[in-house]
Structure formats: structure tokens, C-alpha cells
Structure 1
Amino acid sequence: MHTFFPEIKPYQRHIIAVEPPHELYVDESGNPDGIPVLFVHGGPGAGCGKFDRRFFDPQIYRIVLFDQRGAGRSRPHAELQTNSTQKLVEDIEFIRKTLGIDKWVLFGGSWGSTLSLVYAQTYPERVLGLILRGIFLCRPVDLLWFYQEGASRLFPDYWEDFIQPIPEEERHDMMNAYYRHLTGDNQIQQMTAAKAWSLWEGRTATLRPNQEVVESFTEPHRALSLARIEAHYFVNNAFLEENQILRDAHKLADIPGVIVHGRYDVICPLDNAYLLHKAWPGSELNIIREAGHASREAGIVDALIRATNDMAKDLGERPDQLA
């Protein structure tokens, strides 16, 4: 089994101003002359974490991490103004140009897979390859499954805690009810809602209970941006047209890709990955038998690191792709 590469520190950090009021945190680590790879975090709103640069061999990859608008170390924190999928796609392209990168690999999980796919469909000529985990197509059916009815039947005890902050008369539309609480003027109500929203996600992210994952989701700074930005995106159908990612899958035809998905992923059920794989002939689908959604589960880590190693080898055999 492959495990995380040793911890490394960035060799360069940037604050990149994009559309006001947003400033993005970006850092680079690994080999400055290596294969450029962009880590695209989940949520939206989760920000990058301490394990995220450890999926890549630092001798081979130039590893770029960034916190999306309102997330992590980007400013202002949890900001919803001018925060949409299309804005994030343009932010990624602006980062590429700012760092002087011609083409790069995109590595994204959950919402990070969504954003990576939309970027690749918008700028296919800039993508060397895609490594994606926990595919999230962001269709209305996917949002209703996790935030209204579906996952609630698998975790009725956790669901009871999730609905608790919402008055009974508002529970017929949990996403909009949470959005109202998360964007209201009452800061105590806002934080209570943020913690409950994030706790629901953290508890259901792994096949086996994992307190460390739960704690990372419910840490107050992260919980607020995660809950506010996710609710903002999801009440707007992630700012995507209906079935947009599968509809535009043909634009990925010349891009090699690896899909890693847990068999028992409750947040983003396996049909997301299966349908994408069928619509994208150049993709390889790895279903991880004993895993849920989280990137830190052993089988997921193993498959993702195998994928980064294999892609580096493949790109090394096709140096024209890197020119």
C-alpha cells in the first residue's frame, strides 16, 4: 500500500489579487522544474490542508496549492460576493498565467473534482491530465440525496443532529433553510448552523468512524467557510447548467484521466463516477472496495498516489506534452 509522501514545506508563497474583494493564497512546493500539478480542494469552502501536498513525489512534481475564494487563507474569509464556479475557473487560469505555467495536471476531490472538470472542459488545451477522487457532478439529484432525503436514511441518528438547528416548518427545503441561517445577521445562529452542517459532512465522509476527520470539518474557521460557501453554491445549483459536466464530457476526449471513488461513498454516490467514466473514454475508473468519500482513507490514498506516480511516468515518456 502506498502512503503519504513525507511532509514538506512550500518554497514559495503568494497572495494573488483577483476580482475585488478577493485575494487568493497560493503556495508552491516540490521541484520548481518538475511537472506542474494543481491541487484543487473540496467544499467549496474547505481550503487546503496539511496532507494535500503529500500525494505527489516532491522530486518529480511542482506542486501548486491554492485556497479558493473565501476559503482557507484566502481573503476575505467566507465571502460570498462574486463567488461562483465560473469565477473560480477564471481564478485557476489566472494563477496558471501568473506562475508562468503552460500546461498542468489537475488533482481534485469531491467539489475539487467538479471544479477540475469544468476547468478542463473550458481550457482543455491547458490540461496534461486529471486525477480525480469522489466525483461530484453537482446535479440536483446529488444535492437532494445528501441534503434532503437519501443519505438521511443511512444515518438517521446523524441526520437528527443535522436538522436540529432548523425549525420544523422549514425542513422541507434544508438547503435554503440553512442558507438563510448561514447568511443572517445573528452570528451565534450562523456559527451553530455552520457547525451542524460541517458535522453532518464530517461524520459521513468515511466508511469507518474517524474522529480526526470529523474534527477537521468542525474546526470553527473551516466550518464557517465550508458551510456558508457550500450552501451559497448549492442553492444556486453550483452555478452549472443542468447535467453540464456529463453533457460536455466530449471535451475531455484528448485528456488522460484517473478516477478514484470509494464503493461506499455516501456524500457522492458511486453513480457519479460511473456515469462520468462511461462518458469519458480516456478515463480509468478505480473503485475502492473498502472506502467512503474522504481522501485520507487508506485505499483512497494508495490509489491516488499510484495515479500520481503513473501519470508522472506517462508524461515522462511523452515529453512533447510538457513542452
Structure 2
Amino acid sequence: MPEMYPLNEPYDPGLLDVGDGHRIHWETSGNPGGKPAVVLHGGPGQGSAPGMRRMFDPARYRVVLLDQRGCGRSLPHATTSLRDNTTDHLVADLEKLRDHLGIDRWLVTGGSWGTTLALVYAERFPERVTEIVVSAISTTRRSEIDWLYRGVGRFFPEEWARFSLGAEDDVAAYARLMADPDPAVRDRAAAAWWRWENVVLSLEPGAPPVRDEPVDAATLAFVRLTTHYYANAGWLDEGAVIRAAGRLAGIPGVLIHGRLDLSCPVTTAWELAEAWPGAQLLVDDHSGHRASDVKRGWKLAALDRFAG
């Protein structure tokens, strides 16, 4: 197993008022004079985690973690409001946070949904990005969303029958349930959605068991945000992220993916690498969506190399 860096404590955390009634929780760790890097969590709505800091050499990096609108320690929580919560808002928040922290340019890294956000941000503000390191590549196309919440059902027909609402668009139908005024309806929908998320990962080593679980506030926020974003395909034109990848020319990029990823098929990573001049695509033939020793080692190596 590649050795990650010891967990180091964050310093100088805060809640940044980004407007629209939202305050974004952020924290920094590592060397205050080190190379700036921002970590974009997945989900949407997953929130940041302390272990994300362990990928960076604390002597060489100034690491910025944040909770995107509506999740983690950001306010208001998605369990109470989805107002002014779109991809455009999240991109604008990143620029406000960068400016607030006095950072001119930073390395951007993320995984799964965090990949989409990283790419959209970098395509709009390439002059603010030094390097990009992303894993479990997703660009939030409707075709990708349809695969994850319909196509994968071919592998798990009994679980798909349990998850599907029989609607023309199950994701939109779940989004409506998550907006229902009855908390019992929201709880049942969140539990079913969370079970499906675990089903899709269930073939991978170390995956959590597939079982019915009570939902908490974090799960409710995750499901409400995920269905909100995916029902709208991230408010992105179909294929726009890959079509705009030429804007990333000159930005060193490392794309890390598992060939057996059922959540995000490797074809998206390959298409992105083909459209992004100079990007390096690394595919682990023996892993899926979750982290693996091989992929973790590749990410550590890329971040060490970019630290300078």
C-alpha cells in the first residue's frame, strides 16, 4: 500500500459569505507558504473529509478543503433549502474563496462529481489553475447519469426493480420525492437512493454491505443535492465539458480511473483525454470507482511531482 502523509490538523478555518444567503465552510492545512491546492469533494453533496489532506506533503502544500453549498458544515443545509444551488454558483464560490485567501493560482483536484466541478472551473478560469489531478472521471452528461441510475440495472435486475419508481426519469422523480413536505416520504426516498448507491459499488473490494439503513441529516443532504443536480444534468449542455477541454491546453493534467468502474465508465475518461491536449490518462485494470492502492499511488506521485 502506498504510504500517505500523516493526518495533519487544519488551521484558520472559516465560513465565507458568498452571497445568496449561503456561507461556505473552508479550512486550510499544511504549509501556509506552500503551493496552494484546492480539493473538490464528490457527491454532489458528499462534503469534505479529513483524509483528503493525507494525499499532500504538508511541508510543500497549502491545502484548501471546502464544503460545497448545502452540505457538510456549509450553511444553509440542503435539508432545509436548495435555493441558489447550481454548478454556476459553485464555480463562483471557488473564485470568491480563492480571492478571499489571497491565492493567485492553485492546483485543482477532485473525484467523481468533484471532477466535473474541477473541469468546469478550470475551463472558465484556466489562468487560475496550475495543474489538475482528477480521478473517477465524470462530466455529468445525461448519458452518464442515465447509465448510473438505469443502465447499471442490467447487472442488478432485482435491486433495480426495487430502486426504480417506474417513471420515465427516475432521477427527476426522486428529486420530487426529496422535495416532498412530508419528512417520512423524504426519508424513504433517501434510504432507497442510498441503497442503490451501495449496490452499484457492491462488486468492489471493501465495498460497504448492501442493506437498509436509517438515514441521517448528512445522507438526506447528499441525496437531495445529488438528485437536484443530476435531474438537471448539472445545468450543463450535453457534452459541454469535453467539448471545452481544449481550453485546458497548457495546464498539466493527470486523469486517474478504474477500468471496472460501474459508476463512471472509463469511456468518459478516455474521451476527455483525447480532447485535452497533453493530459495523461492512467487506467487501473483491476479497480472500479473506489480508491485502490494503484490509483492512490498514482495520485500521490502526481501531487508530489507538481509540488515542485
Partner residue of 1:309 out of 295, 304, 307: 304
**Contact 1:26–1:64 (Cα < 8 Å) also in 2:** yes
Partner of 2:148: 146
Please give the TM-score of this superposition, normalised by the length of structure 2.
Answer: 0.94
Partner of 1:122: 124
User: Alpha carbons of 1:137 and 1:264: their partners in 2 closer, same or farther (altered >3 Å)?
Assistant: same
**Contact 1:198–1:226 (Cα < 8 Å) also in 2:** no
Partner SS for 1:134: strand
Cα RMSD between the aligned structures?
A: 1.9
User: Alpha carbons of 1:3 and 1:21: their partners in 2 closer, same or farther (altered >3 Å)?
Assistant: same
Q: Deviations over 1:170-216 (max 9, x none)?
A: 4332111101111111111102211221232234236525355979x
CA distance in 2, matches of 1:297, 1:191: 32
CA distance in 2, matches of 1:213, 1:52: 23
Identity of paired residues, percent? 40
- Per-residue deviation, 1:162: 2.4
Please give the TM-score of this superposition, normalised by the length of structure 1.
Answer: 0.89
Tell me whether 1:178 sits opposite 2:174 in the alignment.
Answer: yes
**Contact 1:203–1:209 (Cα < 8 Å) also in 2:** no
Partner of 1:100: 102
**Contact 2:191–2:214 (Cα < 8 Å) also in 1:** yes
**Contact 1:56–1:305 (Cα < 8 Å) also in 2:** yes
Partner SS for 2:137: coil
Structure 2: where are the runs of 5+ without partners?
none
Partner SS for 1:265: coil
Partner of 2:66: 66
What is the count of residue pairs matched by the alignment? 305
Structure 1: where are the runs of 5+ without partners?
317-323
CA distance in 2, matches of 1:232, 1:87: 14
Partner of 2:49: 49
Partner of 2:20: 20
Partner of 2:267: 271
CA distance in 2, matches of 1:279, 1:92: 24
CA distance in 2, matches of 1:297, 1:220: 28
- Per-residue deviation, 1:262: 0.6
**Letter of the structure 2 residue corresponding to residue 221 of structure 1:** A
**Contact 1:3–1:298 (Cα < 8 Å) also in 2:** no
Partner of 2:159: 158
**Contact 2:202–2:210 (Cα < 8 Å) also in 1:** no
User: Alpha carbons of 1:55 and 1:207: their partners in 2 closer, same or farther (altered >3 Å)?
Assistant: farther
**Letter of the structure 2 residue corresponding to residue 67 of structure 1:** D
Q: Deviations over 1:129-163 (max 9, x none)?
A: 00000111111111111112x11112234334423
Tell me whether 1:249 sits opposite 2:245 in the alignment.
Answer: yes
User: Alpha carbons of 1:292 and 1:197: their partners in 2 closer, same or farther (altered >3 Å)?
Assistant: same
CA distance in 2, matches of 1:301, 1:155: 28
Within 5 A, what are the aligned runs for 1:233-244?
233-244=229-240
